[in-house]
Amino acid sequence: MNEYQHTVLCVDDEENILSSLKRLLRKEGYRLLTATSGGEGLKLFEENGVHLVISDQRMPQMSGTEFLSVVKERYPDTIRVVLTGYTDVDAITESINKGHVYKFLLKPWNDQSLKLEIRQALDQYDLIQANKLLDQKVLQQNEELKRINENLEALVQERTKELEIQNQALELSQAVLEGLPMPIMGVSAEGLIVLINREAQTLPCSAHGIQIGKGLADYFSTDVQEQVTGVLASNTPQTVKGYRLSNEAYDVDVTPLSGKFRGKGIILMLRQVEG
């Protein structure tokens, strides 16, 4: 027996019709419910999930059209079928308009044709439900994608703000460095000059001034070079006293870089002294 079983409700005021439908459908694997009036059928709807309802048109108190109109309003997913011997065109039109009937079938019926119509109606029900589930899944995925995009946008904005702050800090650092009243130079572990401020450019080391990318040895004697090598090895600041450039004397502070740049370079700061 399948785990999933369709429930079919047959509504007819004639007991013999209901008995015939039971005999016809008992081997089809459906859960079969029967009612002799529209009111009784609605009570069964309250207690059961009905996939397909087959209703007679001409019934006392509540016609099939009236019954299916209520079913449509309360249980719109249920497939609705009219089975009747009444062939008036107006009644058929009214049933279709008010009840949104899937099929209008006539009595007497052909057993094989009726079973086929019921199977097709239930296939239609399953298809509609599968499409609804698919639509829900797509909506959920769209919502998830929207949430991801919103989070990504927030992350991008946050990262952009961080970069703006870092750029501002870098510009400020550069401005501070340029504004220092003493020569400052950054030298890599390979001895290349990688940073200079405005005051460093005026040092009397060369006719063209100190240039980034040149070697420390292009502008300073071995005394300073050896001091730089020692500071890189020991990671301890040192000072070269009274170092002379042209006719001026300087104390040269050699300070190693720290943190993740430890061992990768030093900072030279020159302080002019009397001498």
Contact between residue 12 and residue 83 where contact means Cβ atoms under 8 Å apart: yes
Report yes or no on 148 lying in a domain: no
Q: Is residue 153 part of a domain?
A: no
**269 three-class SS:** strand
Among candidates 81, 84, 78, which has minimal Cα distance to 17?
Answer: 84
β-strands 31-35, 52-55: how paired? unpaired
Q: Are residues 193 and 123 in the same domain?
A: no
Regarding whether 206 and 130 lie in a shared domain, the answer is: no
Q: Whole-angstrom Cα distance, residue 148 to residue 130? A: 26
pLDDT above 80 for 140: yes
Same domain, 92 and 209: no
End-to-end CA distance of the chain: 107
Which comes out higher in pLDDT, residue 63 or 90?
Answer: 63
User: pTM of this prediction?
Assistant: 0.56
Tally of structural domains, the chain:
2
1: pLDDT strictly greater than 60 = no
Provide mean pLDDT across the span 223-232. 89
Domain coverage including residue 47: 7-135
Q: Residue range 164-173: average pLDDT? A: 85
What span, in angstroms and rounded, lies between the C-alpha atoms of 51 and 221? 97
CA atoms within 13 A on the CB side of 126: 10
Assigned domain for 189 exists: yes
Q: Which residue shows structure tokens 């002019």?
A: 272
